[in-house]
Amino acid sequence: MAGATALIAGRGALPAHLARALAASGAPFVIAEVEGFAMDNPDGLPVMRFALERLALLFDHLHENGVTRVVMVGAVTRPRLDPERIDPRTAQLLPRIVPALAQGDDATLRAVIALFEEEGFAVVGAEAVAPDLLPPPGVLTQARPGPADERDAARAVQIVAALGAADVGQGAVVAQGLCLAVEALPGTDAMLAWVAEVAGACRPDPKGARGVVCKAPKPGQDRRVDLPAIGPATVEAAARAGLAGIVVEAGGVLLLDPAETIARADRAGLFLWVRTP
C-alpha cells in the first residue's frame, strides 16, 4: 500500500518529465508548484500552487491526499518571503530555514528536506521515481571523445568540483585545456550562449580541439534534490557554442528525453559522454 507521491515543483522542464514518468507508472501523484516559480507544463497537468509562506498548510494538504513520499524538482532560486502572508504554524518553522538561507542553496535545501522528513514524508530523488532519467555510463552517441577531448573533460570535471565546493554552479566549458566559461546563477544555457557569442573566440588554436561542456553535481550536495539535468536544448546550445561534446558525471546528472537528446547530438556530430568519476 504505497501512498501517493508529491512533486514539489519549481521552474524548468524537469517537473513535467517526472510527471510523465509517474503517469506512465500508474502510481498516484500530485503536483505542488511553488508560487512564483512556475514549472513548464506542456501537457497541461493539474497543478496545485502553494505559497512558501504557508508551508504548514501544504503539509496538511499532502497528508489529506495520502502523500507519503515527495520529490523536489525544478529550480527555486532564492525565493523571497512576504512577512504579512506567513501563517502562524509556518512562522514556527522559519527559525529552522532562515539561518540556512544565509549559508547558501545547499544548506537551504537540506533544511527544507529536514522539515518534510519531520512531517513524516520520505524525500526521494528524481531517479527513484524515474530511474530512466539517469543515463548509463559510457558514450551514448556515434561521435566519441578523442584524446584532447578527454583531457578537456578531466580539466572541466576538476573545475566543476572546485566551483561546487564553493556552492557556485554545476557546469563549466573547457577547450584546449583552458576554461572558457563557468556556470553561475544564469545557468547552463546562458553559459553556452556566451561561449557561442563571446568566449569561444578565445580558443588559442582556431583549428584545435573545440572543447566540452561538463555538468556534475556539487561535491557536498544532497543528491536527492537539485541534480543537474541536460536535454535536447543542451545539445542545441552546445552545438551553437561550437563544442565537440557534452560530459556528465555518471549517476549525478539527469538526462531528459534521452532518445531525442541523443538523436540531436548525432545529427550535430557531438558526443555525449556519461563519465565515471
Shortest Å, Cβ 73 to its own copies: 20
Q: What is the DSSP string of 85-113?
A: G--HHHHHHHHHHHHHHHT-HHHHHHHHH
The burial of 156, by beta-carbon neighbours within 10 Å (0-12 exposed, 13-18 middle, 19 or more buried), is given as buried
Q: How far is the CB of 185 from its own copies (least distance, A)?
A: 5
DSSP element (H, E) containing 213:
strand 212-215
Nearer residue to its own copies within complex by CB, 155 or 224: 155
Residue 178: how many CB atoms within 10 A of its CB?
14
- The reply to whether 194 sits near its own copies by the rule CB under 8 A is yes
Q: Among candidates 73, 74, 70, 72, which has minimal Cα distance to 122?
A: 70
Of 83, 131, 204, 206, the one binding its own copies by CB under 8 A: 204
| Partners of 12 in the β-ladder | 39
Q: How far is the CB of 180 from its own copies (least distance, A)?
A: 5
Q: What is d(CA 115, CA 162) in angstroms, rounded to the nearest whole number?
A: 29
Q: Which stretch binds its own copies (CB under 8 A): 6-14, 57-65, 196-204, 217-225?
A: 196-204
Binding part of the chain for its own copies, among 6-14, 71-79, 131-139, 231-239 by CB under 8 A, reads: 71-79
Residue 165 makes contact with its own copies by CB under 8 A: yes
**Residues making contact with its own copies (CB under 8 A):** 77-80, 102, 104, 158-159, 161-163, 165-166, 168-169, 172-173, 176-182, 184-186, 190, 193-194, 198-199, 202, 204-205
